[in-house]
Amino acid sequence: MENFSTPREILAKLVSFPTVSCDTNLPLVEWVETYLDSYGIRSQRIMSPCGTKAHLYAQTGPDDDGGVILSGHTDVVPVDGQAWTTDPWTLTERDGKLYGRGSCDMKGFDALALFAMARASALPIKRPLQLALSFDEEVGCVAVVDLVETMLGALPRAREVIVGEPTMMKVVTGHKGGLGYHVHVRGHEVHSSLLPYGVSAIMQAAKLIDWANQRNVENAAQAPSELAAPFVPPFTTLHVGEIEGGTAHNITAKDCRFFIEFRFVPGESPEDWASLFEAKAAELSAEMQKIHPDTGFDLKRGFALPALAPETDGPAETLARRLTGDNGQHVVSYGTEGSQFQVRGYSTVICGPGDIAQAHQPDEFLALEQLAAGEAFVDRLLDSLCA
């Protein structure tokens, strides 16, 4: 294998694989396996059900509990329709910035994690370093569950998880969770002059959407919990951003479809909101079916991601603060795979190079200065693993 001795060289290689979420990441995974193998590090794949993608995990150092996991995703968002001034799949330096799809979100951190694994393999580290690389993060952070659960069963239990989403190397300790539903309301068509004998899917949808409005008012009126207080806004919100339905102004609508999302604060779970929402939909369906039996609400789960709860003075936060010197309080408004580790018992923080404002943009870049900050972070992490 060629020499990949710096994070930048590794990053250039990772960017060259067009690992858009809907496409294969296997060539990247294969390259990572070869890279790790050249340092004597064995890694394992976990194949996706369709067989076109894989997670990868690995460990170096003693086979003991109490290690550190560096976690990243290998997938990136598409470049279709975006006006790039460089080739998105070729890492290109310009004015102190490294341009390329995924340079910031989050192959920059992936490169640092691989670099850290390689260096750790030659050092007398006293705690293991583990690597977790996933697929399908950009399409819901769900696939990673398989990776987390497999690592729990196959490797000694790590003490801290660092998920390297772009935070400008700040220590981010919390994010809201998310839950989404595709809703299909089935009505019964009659001429609108005969309204009581029909079921308007639109007017029934309005009832469920107004239930969401009422929850928003209620949530906003409550004093925020300690876990919710750092967020803007410091409460759970429900939102409908798309709706369609109906055929004519004088026909009760046969169909109405909308998507509803819940962004809930730590301390609340997807299941809490799912059961409230599903109960309300069932209540409305029962009312509709009194008028016509073939009506009601069909719900299909779109996504469900737990919130990441700040663990004040938890092991991951303590370690990340020591490595970065950042003692600020930071929470973010985007979801990450971190919460999937945390709900399975791992102490977890988010900390990685780059600015989230760059993520998913045309001409996405990672500042060289951020990559250097990441490298300094790796140095201190390795020192700490040797201590």
The least CB distance from residue 361 to Zn ion, in Å, is 13
Specify the length of the chain in residues.
Answer: 387
The least CB distance from residue 183 to Zn ion, in Å, is 28
The least CB distance from residue 355 to Zn ion, in Å, is 12
Q: Based on CB atoms, which residue is closest to Zn ion, 280 or 360? A: 360
Q: Which residue sits closest to Zn ion, CB atoms considered?
A: 105
Catalytic residue at 136?
Answer: no
Q: How far apart are CA 340 and CA 351, in angstroms?
A: 16
Give the amino acid at 322: R
Q: Based on CB atoms, which residue is closest to Zn ion, 281 or 359? A: 359
Q: With beta carbons less than 8 A apart as the criterion, state whether 384 and 322 touch.
A: yes
Q: Based on CB atoms, which residue is closest to Zn ion, 106 or 319? A: 106
Residue ranges binding Zn ion (CB under 5 A): 105-106, 165
Catalytic: which of 137, 189, 317, 364? 137
Catalytic: which of 33, 75, 105, 138? 75
H or E element in which residue 170 lies:
none
Q: How far apart are CA 353 and CA 103, in angstroms?
A: 10
**Cβ neighbours of residue 254 closer than 8 Å, sequence gap 6 or more:** 186, 187, 188, 189, 201, 247
Q: Based on CB atoms, which residue is closest to Zn ion, 120 or 148? A: 148
Which residue is associated with the tokens 């060629």?
A: 2
**Cβ neighbours of residue 373 closer than 8 Å, sequence gap 6 or more:** 169, 353
For the chain, the distance separating the N- and C-terminal CA atoms, rounded to the nearest angstrom, is: 32
The least CB distance from residue 53 to Zn ion, in Å, is 16
Q: Based on CB atoms, which residue is closest to Zn ion, 165 or 317? A: 165
- Count CB neighbours of 102 within 10 A: 28
The least CB distance from residue 106 to Zn ion, in Å, is 4
Which residue is associated with the tokens 């691989």?
A: 114
Catalogue the active-site residues. Answer: 75, 137
